Amino acid sequence: MSKLSIDLVIDKVLKEKKSEVNSKVVIFSEINKDVYKETFLELVYVILAAGTSARLALSTVDILKKDDFVFNKDLTQIIKRLKGCYRFYNLRGKYIYNTREYIRSSYNNSFKKIFNDNSSHYRRRSFFSSNPKVQGVGMKAASHFLRNIGFNDYAILDKHIINLMKECGLISLDFKTLNEKNYIAIENILRKVGSRHNLTLSSLDLVLWYFKTGKIIK
């Protein structure tokens, strides 16, 4: 069976969806990272999106943000609210609450301070992916969060992107383990692919995800 050409995939999608991809990246760039609530909701989104659909995560965030519920309620109340709309209500409710309290107590709800203290590419992501106080966030979710608030140089290696890379011969068909070392190595492969088309990793992810799913969400 012949392999897909990653370059032809990109060219095909850009021919159809370049304007939509560019518009979405602009929306990401307009997130004010100094505004706590706006930024925290993006973190809540990626915590909820793991193992579920993007649309379910988005609709659940809409429920949690109404009347500032997710910013003010205790753990029991958050879990109860999630129970009516989300499958993993207990565990993800704990992740959201514990992470919220950590950012509140240690950083006075200032993402600006977090980013100032962790300004390098590696440390910025590692703060979220390897910090036991930030719960429910690994390499993929941390990358997703950072992309959604305007950082363009992180790859979101979900199953769709990994499978497409296999189909295009960019990684081995039997590849399975996505530890930090492998994640960074695969991210570098995509960075080189993107550079051939003058695309950031942020834009490239939207292009490849659209090819696999037919959707541009976030």
DSSP string, 106-159: HHTT-HHHHHHHT-SHHHHHHHHHS-TTSTT--HHHHHHHHHHTT--S-----H
Q: Note whether 144 and 59 are same-domain residues.
A: yes
pLDDT at 187: 97
Residue at which a domain ends, from 127, 148, 169: 148
* Among 82, 88, 83, CA closest to 61: 82
| Phi-psi domain of 32 (left: phi exceeds 0; alpha: psi -120 through 50; beta: other) | beta
Q: Which of 3, 17, 140, 176 is catalytic?
A: 140
C-alpha angle with apex 21: 15 to 25, nearest 5 degrees? 150
pLDDT at 141: 97
pLDDT at 67: 94
Give the list of residues 6+ apart from residue 166 with CB closer than 8 angstroms, or none: 172, 173, 175
Tens-place pLDDT, residues 193-213? 999 999 999 999 999 999 999
| CA gap 147, 35 in Å, rounded | 16
In this structure, which amino acid lies at residue 45? Y
pLDDT at 186: 97
Q: Note whether 98 and 190 are same-domain residues.
A: no
In a domain, 218, yes or no: no
Give me the number of domains the chain comprises: 2
Give the list of residues 6+ apart from residue 184 with CB closer than 8 angstroms, or none: none
Tens-place pLDDT, residues 127-161? 999 999 999 999 999 999 999 999 999 999 999 99
Q: Note whether 159 and 201 are same-domain residues.
A: yes
Tens-place pLDDT, residues 71-105? 999 999 999 999 989 999 999 999 999 999 999 99
Statement: residue 120 has pLDDT above 90: yes
pLDDT at 1: 53
Q: What is the mean pLDDT of residues 55-77?
A: 96
In a domain, 22, yes or no: yes
Q: Which of 73, 83, 113, 158 is catalytic?
A: 158
Two tokens at 214? 């037919």
Q: Is 205 a catalytic residue?
A: no
Q: Note whether 204 and 165 are same-domain residues.
A: yes
Q: What phi and psi, each to the nearest 5 degrees, are found at residue 122?
A: -70, -50
Q: What phi and psi, each to the nearest 5 degrees, are found at residue 179?
A: -80, 180
Question: Residue 15 belongs to what domain range?
Answer: 6-29+155-213
Q: Is 34 a catalytic residue?
A: no
C-alpha angle with apex 114: 45 to 55, nearest 5 degrees? 10
